[in-house]
A = this chain, B = another copy of it.
Amino acid sequence: MRLKREDDILFVVIDRGEGFVGCMKEVLHSSVMENVGVVITALGMVKNAQIGYGVYKDNKVEYQKAIFEEPLELLGLSGFIIKDEKLPLHFHVYLGDPNGNVVGGHLFDFEVFTFVEMALLTSSYPLKRVLKNGLFLIDF
């Protein structure tokens, strides 16, 4: 994983074989990372993608998980990195298969198959997360 900050943009390149979540933890703890990172854009090709659909019941969430082993085009990511140990990483992902069909959901992790290139917008604003009814909500 290589990263470069220029003004408030953080450019991140992830190489073949690296795991996404491990790389995002490196970004989180990097000296150039501010308190918040907002995904502007992300693309590349990934494999072993683990995604989920949240089932909420009695203030608890359980994820129906799906694993896609084959390489898929990373069409994009939405999400936030926030320096809050309660939920520092929160991403949703959308992926394209060999026929052009798209799958997506809550992102657990993926392995980079060729490369992933992304840009984050950073902010020093002290966003935090608070636990409310079982959800880690952004709080100002």
Contact = CB atoms under 8 A, between A and B. Distances in A.
Interface of A: 2, 4, 6-9, 11, 13, 15-16, 38-43, 45, 51, 53-54, 56, 61, 64, 66, 68, 71, 73-80, 90-94, 96-106, 113-115, 117, 119, 121, 123-125, 127, 133, 135, 137-140
Copies of this chain, complex-wide, total 3
14 contacts: A4-B127, A6-B125, A11-B138, A13-B138, A13-B139, A40-B40, A45-B54, A54-B114, A64-B98, A94-B102, A96-B104, A100-B105, A101-B103, A119-B121
A73 B104 contact: yes
A53 to B, nearest CB: 5
Contact of A121 (B76, B97, B121, B125): B121
Contact of A104 (B7, B8, B53, B94): B94
